[in-house]
Structure 1
């Protein structure tokens, strides 16, 4: 990642980021909740990318080097939390479910001035309480470190619709299917099909944010039909691609 800026305190604010815009690599001494009320947010660290549509937020622990990327116009809401405030006990980034009440709490908290008002203190306490009940979601695309996996994953990133088997891809990068299967589990913590599905879902979110039709997204990302894509998308995000666009 590029040179990292150190921000001692994680800001609490809302801001608009234009499509394709970014907040470059930085870290801070506080925890932070990063939520996109509109658009698709990608938070990238050395360990991979966490992707969050409008019903998800990203938890960024204190000290984590990260960058934000906007897909579609991004209405970003940032909540800084003291390093002692960790209601989920997480020391690694995670994607969290944002149910309607938590969403409204985040919007209200980032809208109000940080002036120490007792009402704001109470709002913060309720926000932390709801945050502690937010389940984690497996919307994480880990980055490989093994050179042969870096090469293979680059092929799939260039074309998520690539349908060759792991054995066929292995012949291109010079590794056996057995070796690659072992490396996917050891280096990325998931199987080859799981990683490829996460990559396809990530790319689908980006394309939908850019206004691509659902059928086009399905075929671009490697699903055999729009129906198959809709089914996988619904199971991953809790709503259909069409509903996602309206959100």
Structure 2
């Protein structure tokens, strides 16, 4: 299969016709592309699967990975691993600068057969950029390229796993409103503030969240709070600054909260994500 033009990733029909990662006889098939659409759209027109596993990394912008019976929000600085054979659909929101790496399970038997998400450290981001800038015809079993793919596989095993996003409420206005808060790095509003904005009662919103997400808004908000914390740990902000931004009464309260979900302190998570990081 010849090299493909990046613009076909903006056209689901063209992508279905001209790009099949399994038809490319290579252990690694890299994709470097930008997605631009006035609406939220799927890369392909329907759910699909391929024998190769797929890494998806949004360098900027957001999206959603839909699996059978489950969906996961794709965020910047996060890498998603979709094992080979898993039915899925990648949906991107408006403007997304993304990378994808297809990996042959037979060449890399150590790859996980479970869907997973990972924090993308600065080292991993550089490795992904370099690999995705390469040709389909690259020899990944020799020289510098061999070292690159070795680092990628090792980083997939050692990178700190990120918590998966909880399911979103089905109401599109509510979903878009909450996602906008996240994209701007702001702590989500409290339930009473949400009720005022949408002109609904707190009881109605509570029932909506329980029905659509399986949890109360308070629990849902706490899960997103954790994801915001992990995003901020990738910056130069101190643990105290992060605690203040996320509306914790004290730094120790934030540390206790973080450990209750991740079983390690925020600073330890930061070091696991980027060994060069300091507190």
Q: 1:132 to 1:165 in 2, by over 3 A?
A: same
Q: CA deviation digits over 1:9-64, x for unaligned, max 9?
A: 28421111104343123211111110111212321222322223221111111111
Structure 1 moving runs of 4+ over 6 Å:
199-202
Q: Give yes or no for the alignment of 1:18 onto 2:36.
A: yes
Structure 2 CA distance for aligned equivalents of residues 86 and 15 of structure 1 = 27
Structure 2 CA distance for aligned equivalents of residues 112 and 75 of structure 1 = 17
Residue pairs, 1:151-190, within 5 angstroms:
153-155=169-171, 158-160=173-175, 161-162=194-195, 169-170=206-207
Residue 136 of structure 1 is matched in structure 2 by 161
Q: CA deviation digits over 1:148-186, x for unaligned, max 9?
A: xxxxx435x54254575568754x89xxxxxx69x97xx
Q: Give yes or no for the alignment of 1:105 onto 2:127.
A: yes
Q: Give yes or no for the alignment of 1:127 onto 2:152.
A: yes
CA apart distance, 1:97: 0.4
Does the Cα contact within 8 Å between 1:87 and 1:132 map onto a contact in 2?
Answer: no
Q: 1:164 to 1:121 in 2, by over 3 A?
A: farther
Residue 74 of structure 1 is matched in structure 2 by 96
Q: Give yes or no for the alignment of 1:194 onto 2:210.
A: no
Q: 1:168 to 1:95 in 2, by over 3 A?
A: closer
The structure that is strand-richer by fraction is 1
Does the Cα contact within 8 Å between 2:21 and 2:29 map onto a contact in 1?
Answer: no
Structure 1 CA distance for aligned equivalents of residues 64 and 58 of structure 2 = 10
How many residues in Structure 1 have an aligned counterpart in Structure 2? 186
- Could you tell me which of 37, 55, 69 is aligned with 1:47? 69
Mark the structure with the bigger radius of gyration.
Answer: 2
Does the Cα contact within 8 Å between 2:74 and 2:80 map onto a contact in 1?
Answer: yes
Which of the pair has the greater relative contact order for Cα pairs under 8 Å at 6+ separation? 1
Note the residue ranges of structure 2 that are not aligned, 5 or more in a row.
Answer: 1-15, 23-27, 176-193, 229-241, 248-253, 267-279
TM-score by length of 1: 0.59
CA apart distance, 1:138: 1.3
Note the residue ranges of structure 1 that are not aligned, 5 or more in a row.
Answer: 144-152, 174-179, 205-226, 239-247
Q: CA deviation digits over 1:98-154, x for unaligned, max 9?
A: 0000000011011112321522122111111111111211132348xxxxxxxxx43
Q: 1:129 is paired with a residue of what secondary structure?
A: helix
Residue 115 of structure 1 is matched in structure 2 by 138
Structure 2 CA distance for aligned equivalents of residues 67 and 158 of structure 1 = 22
